[in-house]
Structure 1
Amino acid sequence: MEPSLLPERKPVRFLKIVTPILITQVALYMVTFFDILMTGRYDTYHLAGVTIGSSFWVPVYTGLAGILMSLTPIIAQHIGARRNTEVRPAVQQGLYVSAALAIVVFLLITLVFFKVIRSMGLENPVGPIAIRYLQGMSVGLLPLFAYTVLRSFFDALGSTRVSMFIILISAPINVLLNYLLIYGNFGFPELGGAGAGYASGLTYWIVFGIALGVALGGRPFRKFSLFAQWQRPKWLYWKEILVIGVPIGLSIFVETSIFSVVTLLMSSFSTEIISAHQIALNFTSLLYMMPLSISMGATILVGQSVGGNQYADAKRYSYMGITFAVAFSLLSIAILLIARSSIASLYTTDPAIMALASQFFIFGALFQLSDAVQAPIQGALRGYKDVNITFIMGFVSLWVIGLPVGYVAASFTGLGPYGYWVGLIAGLTVGAVVLSFRLRFIQRKHEMPAQ
C-alpha cells in the first residue's frame, strides 16, 4: 500500500485537484454565458427561444449526466485499492450507459419537449426557435455523454487538469462556431438562436475527439488500455453504475430544477422583479462554482482514500473540503454585501432593476454559508459511495421544506418575491445540518473495522 501523504501536504494536494475543476466549471459556465450574450445581441425573440430551450435542456441533461458521475467514486476506489485491471471494464460499461442515456434524452426532446413547447402558447417566432435550438443541441448528445465518462476517468485518477485543458481549448471553438452560425459570417448559414444549439452540438464532438485522443495516447492513461478487449454490455456493471449514479443524477436534477420552478412561480410578479431575480441567480450561480468544485474534489480524494483503506485520510479530506468552502463563502458574503450595487450594474442600466437586484443579493449572501457546508459534504458522501440519503435530503430540504416555506413567505408575508429565497435558505440550512450528521455516521461506520 502506498504510504499516506503527510498531513501538511494534504491541503496542497486538495488544491491541486480542486483548482483545475474550478477552472473547468467556470469555463463551462462561460460557454453558456456567451451563448446567451451572442444570441441576445442577435435578436430578442431568438434570445427568448434559446432561454426556453435551455430551460428544458439544463435540468434534464445535468440530471442524467449526473448518473455517469458515479464512475468517479467507482474508478477512484479501484485506483486507491490498486485494482487497475477493473478500470477498463468500468469505462467501457460506462460508455454503453452513456449511449443509452443519449438515446433517452433524444427521445425526450423529440417526443415530449417539442410537444410541450408547441402547447405553451409562446409568441410565434419563439417556439420554433426553441425547437430548432434543441435540435441543434441533439447533434452532440452522444459525444457529450461519452465525454462525461472519459472526464470521470480522468478526474478519478486525479488528473483534473486534463479536463481543464480540454474545456479551455473547446470554449473558444464554441464562441467561433457561435459567431459563424448565429450571424451567418464567412458564408455560413445564418441560423440565429438555432445556431447556438448547432454550435454547441458540434463543439461536443470536438471535445469528445480531444478527450478520446488523450485517453488513448496520454502517458498516464495508456497503461489502462481502455479500448482493448472490448466487452459486451454486462448487467452487473450497469447495476453498480446505476445504483450509485441514479441517486446522484436525481439529486442534481432536484437541485437544478428547483430554481426553474421558483422562476415560474415568480412570473406573477412584475417584469422588473423577475429580471432582478434572474440577475441575482445568475451571479450567485457563478459563486457556487467554488463549493461545487470543492465537492467534486472531495469525491475524488475521499474515494481514493476509502479504496486504499485510508479512512483517516478520507475524514481529513472531508473536513478540509468543508473548511475551504466555508472560507470562500465568507469572501462571497462580503462581495455580495459590499459590491451588490456594482454587480447589479454589470447586468443592467435600469435603476429600478438594479435596486431590486441589490436586495436579492442580500438574501443570496445568506445562503452562501449553507451551500458551503452542504456541497462538500455531498461530495464526501459520494466518495464513500453513500448517495441515497444525499438524494433524499436534497429532495426534502428543497422541495418539502424550501419550496413550501418560500411560497408561504412570498404569499402571506411582507417579503413578497424575496420569500422564495428565504425558503431556499431554510431548506439548504436544514439539509446542511442533517447531512453533517450523516457524514459523521458514515465515517464512524468505516472506522469500526479498524478498532
Structure 2
Amino acid sequence: MFPTDTLKDKSKLFLQILIPILITQLGMYSMNFFDTVMAGKAGANDLAGVAIGSSLWVPIFTGINGVLLALSPIVAQLVGSNKKENIPSAVRQGIYLSIVLAIIVFIIGYFLLDPILMSMSLDSNVSYIAKYYLVALSTGIIPLFMYNAVRCFFDALGQTRITMFITLIALPVNILFNYVLIFGKWGFPPLGGIGAGLASSLTYWISFVISLLILSKVRPFSLYEIHKHLEIPSLLAWWEQLKIGVPIGFAIFFEVSIFAAVTLFMSTYSTFTIAAHQAAINFASFLYMIPLSISMALTIAIGFEVGARRMKDAKQYSYLGISIAVAMSVICGAAIYIFDDPVANLYSSNPEVINMTKHFLFYAIFFQLSDAFGAPIQGALRGYKDVNITLLMAFISYWIIGLPSGYVLATFTFLGPAGYWVGLITGLAVGAIALLTRLVRLQKQSLNHPQLFTTEAKE
C-alpha cells in the first residue's frame, strides 16, 4: 500500500489489490464448488450429503475466519501509521489464537455432530455421508485456520498476489484429490462425498506448508522475522484482536448460517429439492466471492488510509469499491439469466434436479444484487474498525427479517421452497440500506475527528 492523490491512481492501486484477492477467493470457494459438483456426479445421495455437511461447516469456518480477519485492519493501520515494529507480535498472537479456535471447533464438533444430524429428517445414507464428510474435513482445520491468519498478514501488506499464488497451486491439487478419492482412482476405494472432505483436508495442509515457506523465505515477509522468534501467548493481545474479530466473525456467521438454516428447513422436502437448492445456493455463493473480495480489498485500503488519517481518501475508496461491486453484480445477473441451463447441468444429470435448480437460479439474480451493496459496505466499515453495527444488522436482517419471512412465504404461499429465497433477498436489502446509512454517518465523523478512528473499534 502507498498514498495516492487522484481517483485514477486509487482505481489502479485498488484493482492491483482486488484482482489477486478475487482470484484467491474464487479459487478457495472453487474447492467447495468442485466438492459439490463432483460429489453430485457420484450420485444424488452424495450431493445431498455434501450439501448438508457444507451447510453445517461453512458457517463455522467463515465465522472463525471472520475473527481472524481482524488481523487485516490491525496490520493495515499499523502500516499506515508507520508502526511496523508492532506487526510481528500481532501476527504471532493471531496465529496462536487461530490454533486455539481450531481446537475449540474440533471439540464442539466431536460432541454435537451426531445429535444435530439425528435431529434432522434425513435419509440414512445422506446422514452417513454428511457425517463422515465432516469428519474427514476436520483433520485439516488446524492448518486451515493457521493459514488464514498468515494470509491476513500477507494481504494487509498489500501483497495479495502471494495468496493468489498459493490458491492457484492448491486448487488443481484439490481437484485431483477429489477425482482420486471420490471416484476411486489409482487403486483408492471410491469414497463418494466423504472423499471430497478428505481431499479438502489434504489441500488445507498443502496450503499451510506453502505459506510457512513464503513467510520465512520471501521478502518482505521474512524481514519481519515472525518465524524466528517465539513469544508467550498473550491473553491481552488475543483480547485486542477478539474485540474486533468477534463482531466480524458473528456478523459473518449470522449471514452464512442463515443459508444453513434454510437448508435444514428444506430437509422436510425431497432429496431432489435439497440437491437443487444447494446447487443454486452454491453457484450464488460462488458469485458472492466478487463482492466479498471487494469488501476485503476495501478493508485493507481504508484501514491503510485511516491509519494515516487521510479520511477523504478513505471515503473515496469506499464509494469506488461499492460502484465496482454493483457493476459486476449487473453483469453476473445477466449471465445467470442467460446461462441458467448450462449452470444447472453442471450440478446434476437428473432432469427434476436441473429444472428445480433453474427455478432457484432466477431468485439468485436478485440475491447477488443485494449482496453487491451490503458486502462492500461491511468491508469499508471494518477498515474504520467499526464492527459492532455490522453484527447487529446481520442478526436483524437475516434472523429477524429474512428467515421468519422466508418461512411464512414458503409455508403459506404458492412460492413453496422458493419463499426462503425471497425472505433472504428481503433481509439482505434491509441490511444493506441500514449499513449504508451507518457508513455515511461514520465518514462525516471521521472527517471532523480523524484521531478517533485509529485506536479501537467504535460502538
Query: Common fold, TM-score beyond 0.5?
Result: yes
The structure-2 alpha-carbon separation of the partners of 1:56 and 1:351, relative to structure 1 and needing over 3 Å to count, comes to closer
What is the rounded CA distance, in whole Å, between the counterparts of 1:215 and 1:355 in structure 2?
Answer: 48
The offset of 1:356, in angstroms, is: 4.0
2:397 is equivalent to residue 397 of structure 1: yes
What is the rounded CA distance, in whole Å, between the counterparts of 2:331 and 2:155 in structure 1?
Answer: 27
What is the rounded CA distance, in whole Å, between the counterparts of 1:187 and 1:323 in structure 2?
Answer: 51
The structure-2 alpha-carbon separation of the partners of 1:247 and 1:218, relative to structure 1 and needing over 3 Å to count, comes to same
The structure-2 alpha-carbon separation of the partners of 1:368 and 1:101, relative to structure 1 and needing over 3 Å to count, comes to same
Q: Unaligned 5+ residue runs, structure 1?
A: none
Q: 1:251 — aligned with what?
A: 251
Instruction: Give TM-score scaled by structure 2 length.
Output: 0.91
Answer yes or no: is the 8 Å Cα contact 2:48–2:275 preserved in 1.
no
The structure-2 alpha-carbon separation of the partners of 1:78 and 1:338, relative to structure 1 and needing over 3 Å to count, comes to same
The structure-2 alpha-carbon separation of the partners of 1:355 and 1:140, relative to structure 1 and needing over 3 Å to count, comes to closer
Using the aligned pairs only, state the percent identity: 51
The offset of 1:188, in angstroms, is: 4.3
Q: 1:59 — aligned with what?
A: 59
Q: 2:457 — aligned with what?
A: none
The structure-2 alpha-carbon separation of the partners of 1:255 and 1:147, relative to structure 1 and needing over 3 Å to count, comes to same
What is the rounded CA distance, in whole Å, between the counterparts of 2:263 and 2:185 in structure 1?
Answer: 35
Answer yes or no: is the 8 Å Cα contact 2:36–2:347 preserved in 1.
no
Q: 1:161 — aligned with what?
A: 161
Answer yes or no: is the 8 Å Cα contact 2:56–2:260 preserved in 1.
no
Q: Secondary structure at the match of 1:408?
A: helix
What is the rounded CA distance, in whole Å, between the counterparts of 1:181 and 1:339 in structure 2?
Answer: 30
Q: Secondary structure at the match of 1:219?
A: coil
Q: 1:142 — aligned with what?
A: 142
Equivalences for 1:18-97 in 2 at 5 Å? 18-42=18-42, 44-97=44-97
The structure-2 alpha-carbon separation of the partners of 1:271 and 1:127, relative to structure 1 and needing over 3 Å to count, comes to closer
What is the rounded CA distance, in whole Å, between the counterparts of 1:344 and 1:192 in structure 2?
Answer: 20
Answer yes or no: is the 8 Å Cα contact 1:109–1:134 preserved in 2.
no
What is the rounded CA distance, in whole Å, between the counterparts of 1:178 and 1:3 in structure 2?
Answer: 44
Q: 2:178 — aligned with what?
A: 178
What is the rounded CA distance, in whole Å, between the counterparts of 1:100 and 1:27 in structure 2?
Answer: 26
The offset of 1:262, in angstroms, is: 1.6
Equivalences for 1:309-388 in 2 at 5 Å? 309-348=309-348, 353-388=353-388
Which has the larger displacement, 200-209 or 241-250?
200-209
The structure-2 alpha-carbon separation of the partners of 1:425 and 1:263, relative to structure 1 and needing over 3 Å to count, comes to same
Q: 1:285 — aligned with what?
A: 285
What is the rounded CA distance, in whole Å, between the counterparts of 1:136 and 1:346 in structure 2?
Answer: 25
Answer yes or no: is the 8 Å Cα contact 1:61–1:105 preserved in 2.
no
The offset of 1:273, in angstroms, is: 4.4
Amino acid in structure 1 at the alignment position of 2:78: H
Amino acid in structure 2 at the alignment position of 1:325: A
2:210 is equivalent to residue 227 of structure 1: no
Q: 2:208 — aligned with what?
A: 208
The offset of 1:179, in angstroms, is: 3.3
Amino acid in structure 2 at the alignment position of 1:11: S
Q: 2:130 — aligned with what?
A: 130
The structure-2 alpha-carbon separation of the partners of 1:331 and 1:68, relative to structure 1 and needing over 3 Å to count, comes to same
Answer yes or no: is the 8 Å Cα contact 2:329–2:369 preserved in 1.
yes
Q: 2:110 — aligned with what?
A: 110
The offset of 1:398, in angstroms, is: 0.9
Q: Secondary structure at the match of 2:416?
A: coil
The structure-2 alpha-carbon separation of the partners of 1:40 and 1:449, relative to structure 1 and needing over 3 Å to count, comes to closer
CA deviation vs aligned residue, 1:12-53 (integer Å, no higher than 9, x gap): 111111111111111112212222333344455444443333
The structure-2 alpha-carbon separation of the partners of 1:197 and 1:7, relative to structure 1 and needing over 3 Å to count, comes to same
Answer yes or no: is the 8 Å Cα contact 2:40–2:348 preserved in 1.
no
Aligned length: 451
Which has the larger displacement, 90-99 or 125-134?
125-134
The offset of 1:83, in angstroms, is: 0.8
What is the rounded CA distance, in whole Å, between the counterparts of 1:71 and 1:450 in structure 2?
Answer: 21
The structure-2 alpha-carbon separation of the partners of 1:43 and 1:212, relative to structure 1 and needing over 3 Å to count, comes to same
The offset of 1:348, in angstroms, is: 4.5
CA deviation vs aligned residue, 1:74-117 (integer Å, no higher than 9, x gap): 11111111111111001110011011011111101212113433
Q: Secondary structure at the match of 1:185?
A: coil
The structure-2 alpha-carbon separation of the partners of 1:122 and 1:173, relative to structure 1 and needing over 3 Å to count, comes to same
Answer yes or no: is the 8 Å Cα contact 2:94–2:149 preserved in 1.
yes
What is the rounded CA distance, in whole Å, between the counterparts of 2:343 and 2:35 in structure 1?
Answer: 21
The structure-2 alpha-carbon separation of the partners of 1:273 and 1:446, relative to structure 1 and needing over 3 Å to count, comes to same
The structure-2 alpha-carbon separation of the partners of 1:20 and 1:355, relative to structure 1 and needing over 3 Å to count, comes to same
Q: Unaligned 5+ residue runs, structure 2?
A: 452-459
What is the rounded CA distance, in whole Å, between the counterparts of 1:135 and 1:353 in structure 2?
Answer: 27
What is the rounded CA distance, in whole Å, between the counterparts of 1:191 and 1:9 in structure 2?
Answer: 51
CA deviation vs aligned residue, 1:234-286 (integer Å, no higher than 9, x gap): 12211111111111111111111111212232344455544443333222222
Answer yes or no: is the 8 Å Cα contact 1:88–1:227 preserved in 2.
no
What is the rounded CA distance, in whole Å, between the counterparts of 2:360 and 2:277 in structure 1?
Answer: 7
Which has the larger displacement, 354-363 or 8-17?
354-363
The structure-2 alpha-carbon separation of the partners of 1:342 and 1:140, relative to structure 1 and needing over 3 Å to count, comes to closer
The structure-2 alpha-carbon separation of the partners of 1:149 and 1:13, relative to structure 1 and needing over 3 Å to count, comes to same
What is the rounded CA distance, in whole Å, between the counterparts of 2:181 and 2:273 in structure 1?
Answer: 33
2:13 is equivalent to residue 6 of structure 1: no
The offset of 1:297, in angstroms, is: 0.6
Q: Secondary structure at the match of 2:50?
A: helix
The structure-2 alpha-carbon separation of the partners of 1:46 and 1:416, relative to structure 1 and needing over 3 Å to count, comes to closer
